Structure 1
Amino acid sequence: MADGTSEIALGKQDLREVTGFAAASAQEVLEIFERAHPADSRPREALDAAWTFARGGERGKSLRDTAWAAHRAARQAGTAAAGEAARAAMCAAAAAYLHPLADAHQVKHILGSAAHAARAAELLAGDDRAVGAARIGRAGRSATPVVVEVLGRYPAAPAGGGRVGELLRDLDEALRGRA
């Protein structure tokens, strides 16, 4: 590749496992968004599209469209916690588009939903970092061996990203420690 990034072997079943993990993470906090915005179905639609793909559906326009719509919902959310919950749903739909490139930023496709979900829960609890750490611990325990193995094909999570980035790196380290 022109940028020096090498390719990683990645099959459709790998993508389904990663997307299922991401969807399960987002599912845990979707109600935070829905309580704040009961008439806005965009994050739920993104999550439904992610589940459909994870359970054998095709990867197509619906995933992309609903991910972008959930992203817009996050930007329009009235609270930070609701915004993070919508971002978790957006990341779940986007997980199906994990690229087979040895690029640390691809780790966000694998673990981004869990990190945003942990941040949403943290914010809902008055910015209690122990709540976020507990969510990350639960996400680490729920990751399947396939998710851990796929993650291991990629470089470690990148620096930056504020508190969500910290949560992402904490989960990344925990899962790599399982391998």
Structure 2
Amino acid sequence: MEPVPTDPGIIELSEDELREIAGYAADCARRTLSIFEDGLPSDTRPRDAVDAAYVFAAGGRRTNALRQRAWAAYRAAEDAASPAAADAARAASHAAAAAFLHPRASAHQVKHVLGAAAHAARAEELAYGEGRSGAGTTFGWACHHAPAAVTAVLGRLPAAPAGGGRAGELVRGLDAALRT
């Protein structure tokens, strides 16, 4: 029997890898939740998204509730007290959305793997300024603490795409650092 040809646009992506990526994304986003919460302490949408990502990473199901938490955190960015807080909310949104990474060989999927880390790093830049205490710590942490699933999946994807402003630059920087 001849092997069945595989679709070159599809990559292998296991549920265990999705869980590891979601846990990593949640770890990155959690680092900057306080930036959002300092301005809106009663708005739990970003924290709820990060918590939902952790539940999935620990073996929970991919549900519509998880997807809704990702969207709620995304909408929280519109209500954020500052640009830094908005990026912290976007990091939380990306953490919950990481569970829905698609097995497509698309550069866009790199943003789903690294979006939480990039937006968390951007939130720190905006909150603490370049060269000040706290600035850039998530970027370095994300480079040194990426689990095997993150680097394995990135190795199956094309390089991160152009565009996306400063967060896009951070995605590309993380992508390049994690591929070496």
TM bin, normalised by shorter chain, reads over 0.9
Residue 28 of structure 2 corresponds to residue 25 of structure 1: yes
In the aligned structure 2, how far is the partner of 1:119 from the partner of 1:133? Answer: 8
Q: Which has the larger radius of gyration?
A: 2
1:118 partnered with 2:130: no
Question: What's the secondary structure of 2:161's corresponding residue?
Answer: coil
Superposition deviation, residue 63 in structure 1: 1.1
Q: Unpaired runs of 5+ in structure 2? A: 1-6
Change (3 A) 1:69 1:5: farther
| Structure 1 equivalent of residue 108 of structure 2 | 105
Q: Secondary structure at the match of 2:102?
A: coil
RMSD: 1.5
Give the match for residue 162 of structure 1: 165
Separation in 2, partners of 1:132, 1:108: 21
Listed as ranges, the gaps of 5+ residues in structure 1 are none
1:74 paired with 2:51, answer: no
> If the length of structure 1 is used for normalisation, what is the TM-score?
0.92
Note the alpha carbon deviations across 1:19-67, whole angstroms, 9 max, x for none.
0110000010011111110010100111111000001100111111001
Match of 2:65 in 1: 62
Q: Give the TM-score normalised by structure 2.
A: 0.92
**Change over 3 Å in CA distance of 1:129–1:92 after alignment to 2:** farther
2:46 aligned to which of 19, 43, 51: 43
One-letter identity of the residue aligned with 2:105:
A
Alignment: residue pair count: 173
